[in-house]
Structure 1
Amino acid sequence: MAAPRWDLGPAREPLGLIRALQGFFSIFAFATLGGFQGSVSFRLSCAGSPNASVSAAFAYPFRMNVATFAPSLTTLCNRTWAADVHLVGDFSSSARFFVLVAVSSLLYSLGALLLYLGYLHRYRGAGGKLPLADLVATAAFSFLWLVASSAWAKALVDVKASVAAPLPSCHPPAVTCTRSATTPMGALNVSVAFGFLNLILWLGSCWFVFKETNFHRPPAPGTPSAM
């Protein structure tokens, strides 16, 4: 493979600048989601028994149905609960798909940026094949961001509903269950916003990659015929 011809010029043009922004915002997209940890707590008031507090912890990938309230509710309120109580729902597929798209986008955008900075002469001199492949990949990532962001936005609504659900078998005055604390989910809202921001960036990038293809370039002037 030919030696690279490093030139920072493409990084100051929309073609390279948007790639850098795509990588930057992809990091925020999967970091705000993958690093989230939360919990929900309830205060129990049982007739004839001391008050107790229980909580359930949840985190990425949001398999809520394995988040169990502790200490075990089966030992509280005169054994009102016959079995352990879990949160409801499994949203791991949407969360993992979102993170997969974000990480893949980061790797592709960084690889494309290095190609522009070091091998722009080969990129533009490959008969239009590399720009065309780049355009197809960029359009594919745009579609993946649309699907992943929409799926995760819907899953987040369901995660919030799962956390907001009341404890079962709470029948005042024998058993009173009061929510005492819930971890704010602002970071998860931000992850959805970064998902759709990445969608906009990848859609915008399609135009600048398209300009590098033979579909946009004017045809080469013909050779004048000999008189």
Structure 2
Amino acid sequence: MQMQTGFRFNLTPVKEPLGFVKVVEWLTAVLAFGTCGGYTGRNVVSIICGGSSNETLSATFTYPFRFGPSNNTLCNRTVPATHLVGDSSSSVEFFVAVAILAFLYSMMALLVYLGYMHVYRDSDFGPMFDFVLTAVFAFLWLVCSSAWARGLQTVKDATSTAGIESTLALCTDRDVRCEVTDYASMRSLNISVIFGFLNLILWVGNAWFVYKETPAGRGPNPAPI
């Protein structure tokens, strides 16, 4: 008998763990890259230029976390554009890339579940392909979330008083003292790390439900009576 491959809209899969978890994965992927991809922070640095002369530096840093002073001249010295100490750009860009790819795959998988579940379950390729990619994304979430958690700590260190002092050559002068007096809130960045590890848990858990759809997970077919 020829297998029917046309689109058949059916909400039943999202009421089951297989589809429901995919919906949650889609949402948490959006929240993961949304909480760090558009981030902008600003630290205010007070600079004492020897004697009683004071200057204020606004150090703005945005995704992927490089900043340059908004003042070109401080303490009668020209201050060039400056980058954060350390390299956090690669880890956060990797994190955002994984989140976007997970978002796109979750959306594609949901389309298959809602319209082509009869094809998905009548073939061995669909469940196996889904399982392999789900396992790959679980591994990628582990790697990128761990890397970004470490990268975020690097950002925090680089934007502290000690980090600013080691970044700006001006602050190394004997008669100049720098101190961060107003710190940017990094709450959304902390939340992005939490969503990263939450996605790891979701994708690992979802791998089990997808595995149950594969031939190995379904077990041998019962012998005909």
Same fold per TM (> 0.5)?
yes
Any conservation in 1 of the 2:45–2:59 contact (CA below 8 Å)? no
Give the CA deviation at 1:61.
Answer: 1.1
Task: String of CA shifts for 1:16-66, please: whole Å, max 9, x gaps.
Answer: 00000000000000000101101222112234564210121111112x3xx
Aligned-partner residue type, residue 103 of structure 1: I
Aligned-partner residue type, residue 20 of structure 1: V
Any conservation in 2 of the 1:146–1:199 contact (CA below 8 Å)? yes
Give the match for residue 155 of structure 1. 151
**Number of aligned pairs?**
214
Greater gyration radius = 1
Over the residues paired in the alignment, what is the CA RMSD in angstroms?
Answer: 1.8
Distance between the aligned counterparts of 1:115 and 1:91, measured in 2? 37
Give the match for residue 71 of structure 2. 71
Distance between the aligned counterparts of 2:183 and 2:38, measured in 1? 17
Residue 11 (str. 1) matches residue 34 (str. 2): no
Give the match for residue 141 of structure 2. 145
Unaligned runs of 5+ in 1: none
The 1:176–1:119 alpha-carbon spacing in structure 2 relative to 1, beyond 3 Å, is: same
Task: String of CA shifts for 1:165-209, please: whole Å, max 9, x gaps.
Answer: 2423254xx433232211011110000000000000000001100
Give the CA deviation at 1:6.
Answer: 1.0
Task: String of CA shifts for 1:64-123, please: whole Å, max 9, x gaps.
Answer: 3xx222313xx43354xx753723223211111111100100111111111111111100
Any conservation in 2 of the 1:105–1:141 contact (CA below 8 Å)? yes
Give the match for residue 122 of structure 1. 119
Give the stretch that moved more between structures: 186-195 or 51-60.
51-60
Aligned-partner residue type, residue 3 of structure 1: G
Distance between the aligned counterparts of 1:40 and 1:2, measured in 2? 57
TM-score by length of 2: 0.88
Aligned-partner residue type, residue 217 of structure 1: R
